């Protein structure tokens, strides 16, 4: 069976009585690059955080690589246990029931997803190399020698082989963000999420980070990218999705959404951004 890398089905997310995501549907195929655009406060970060299980959704379903997030689905029990489960509403119309996943299951799923945030969140007391090796050694229990060799390769890939022993404070914002990307890649993710990875950078440092992301996309990585870099969206995105007030109001190729938006609000947004 083939399934999408990400399948978001009618997802709602509320914080208290504030509903931030209002029925979001989104599919990301393997190898696809989706750029998520939208005004500040529209729910972009929340949506990314839901994909990484940093937030629990209020309603709807998210499938990652075919697996349901948050809950796990199995055939409903038969007999009196099934009857009780049906009565409590735990059984779906397909005759399956849901149970909360174990921590180990959540951790295994989360390891498939790498995330890069706006603020460089490197460990300040570790060198670039140590930052990259930390999770492979401590979490994935890979041999240190192997992790070190791979970290060097990753540093090479983001153009920082000469900076292996530099600490974050000795690196520019752009270099730190490239280390953050290398660090995420060290866990061999199948999906990479970027939340405004260049928004906190000085303008002259934006290009080097976008170019690493573009290489990654060319290499076939599945990516969901929140960014206001329209040039990047045009050039790299397979699909552009426009989020407004927790709803996807426009979706299509960059040409469709950026140059020929369907909705007034999307058009408005681009006249301000471009
Ligand atoms: P965007 O990334 O598009 O700017 P966010 O997803 O960060 O938007 O936020 C969408 C809305 O959700 C905002 O109104 C924000 O205040 C609210 N929000 C986000 N996270 C939380 C939280 N942990 N608790 C309460 N409200 C939140
Ligand atoms: Mg945000």
Q: In this predicted model, what pLDDT tens digit does every residue of 17-29 receive, in sequence order? A: 999 999 999 999 9
d(CA 161, CA 158): 8
Q: How confident is the model at residue 1 (pLDDT cuts 50, 70, 90)?
A: low
Residue bearing the CA closest to ligand 1, atom 13: 41
Among the bound ligands, the one closest to the CA of 199: 2
The preferred substitution site among 16, 18, 54, 197 for testing ligand 1, maximizing ligand atoms within 8 Å of CB, is 18
pLDDT for 71 equals 66
The pLDDT-based confidence of 73 (bands split at 50, 70, 90) is low
Decide: 40 and 118 in contact? Cβ < 8 Å. Answer: no
Q: Please state the atom number of ligand 1 nearest to the C-alpha of residue 55.
A: 23
258 confidence band (pLDDT: 50, 70, 90) = very high
What does the pLDDT average to over 62-66?
A: 92
Please write the tens of the pLDDT for every residue from 196-223.
999 999 999 999 999 999 999 999 999 9
The mean pLDDT of 165-184, rounded to a whole number, is: 97
pLDDT of residue 94: 76
Give the residue-averaged pLDDT of 120-124: 90
User: 73: which 2 tokens?
Assistant: 């689905």
Strand order in the sheet with 67-68: 18-28, 6-15, 59-64, 67-68
Spatial distance between the Cα atoms of 107 and 89, rounded to a whole number of angstroms: 27
Among protein residues, the one with the nearest Cα to ligand 1's atom 5 is 43
Ligand 1 residue neighbourhood (C-beta within 6 Å): 15, 18, 20, 38, 40-46
Q: What is the largest CA-CA distance in the chain?
A: 66
Backbone angles phi, psi at 48, to 5 degrees: -60, -45
Q: Would you give the end-to-end CA distance of the chain in angstroms? A: 42
- The residue whose CA is least distant from atom 26 of ligand 1 is 15
**Atom 6 of ligand 1, residue of closest alpha carbon:** 43
| Residue 45, pLDDT score | 97
- The 3-state DSSP class for residue 141 equals coil
Q: Residue 173's pLDDT is what?
A: 95
Question: Which ipTM did the prediction report?
Answer: 0.98
Bigger pLDDT: 68 vs 235: 235
Task: With a cut of 80, say whether residue 98 has pLDDT above it.
Answer: no
State the average pLDDT for the chain.
92
Burial label, 227 (beta-carbon count in 10 A; 0-12, 13-18, 19+): buried
Residue pointed to by tokens 């920082």: 160
Half-sphere exposure of residue 55: CA atoms within 13 angstroms, side-chain side:
21
- How high is the pLDDT of residue 215? 97
pLDDT, residue 72, reads 67
| Rounded Cα gap, residues 138 and 152, in angstroms | 18
C-alpha span between 38 and 269 (Å, rounded): 8
């Amino acid at each position: 069976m083939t399934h999408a890398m990400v399948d978001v089905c009618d997802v709602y997310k509320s914080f208290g009585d504030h509903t931030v995501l209002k029925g979001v549907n989104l599919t990301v195929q393997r190898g696809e690059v989706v750029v998520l655009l939208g005004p500040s406060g529209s729910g972009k970060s929340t949506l990314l955080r839901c994909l990484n299980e940093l937030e629990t959704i209020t309603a709807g379903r998210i499938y990652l690589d075919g697996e349901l997030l948050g809950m796990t689905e199995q055939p409903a029990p038969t007999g009196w246990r099934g009857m009780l489960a049906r009565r409590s509403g735990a059984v779906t119309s397909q005759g399956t029931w849901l149970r909360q996943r174990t921590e180990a299951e959540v951790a295994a799923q989360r390891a498939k997803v790498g995330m890069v945030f706006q603020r460089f969140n490197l460990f300040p007391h570790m060198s670039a190399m140590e930052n990259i090796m930390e999770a492979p050694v401590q979490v994935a229990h890979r041999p240190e020698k192997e992790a070190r060799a791979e970290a060097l390769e990753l540093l090479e890939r983001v153009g920082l082989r000469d900076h292996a022993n530099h600490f974050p404070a000795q690196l520019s914002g752009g270099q730190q963000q490239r280390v953050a990307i290398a660090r995420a890649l060290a866990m061999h993710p199948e999906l990479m999420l970027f939340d405004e990875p260049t928004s906190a950078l000085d303008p002259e440092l934006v290009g080097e980070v976008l170019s690493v992301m573009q290489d990654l996309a060319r290499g076939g990585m599945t990516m969901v990218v929140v960014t206001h870099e329209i040039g990047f969206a045009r050039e790299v995105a397979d699909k552009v999705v426009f989020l407004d007030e927790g709803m996807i109001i426009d979706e299509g190729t960059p040409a469709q959404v950026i140059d020929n938006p369907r909705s007034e609000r999307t058009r408005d947004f681009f006249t301000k951004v471009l």
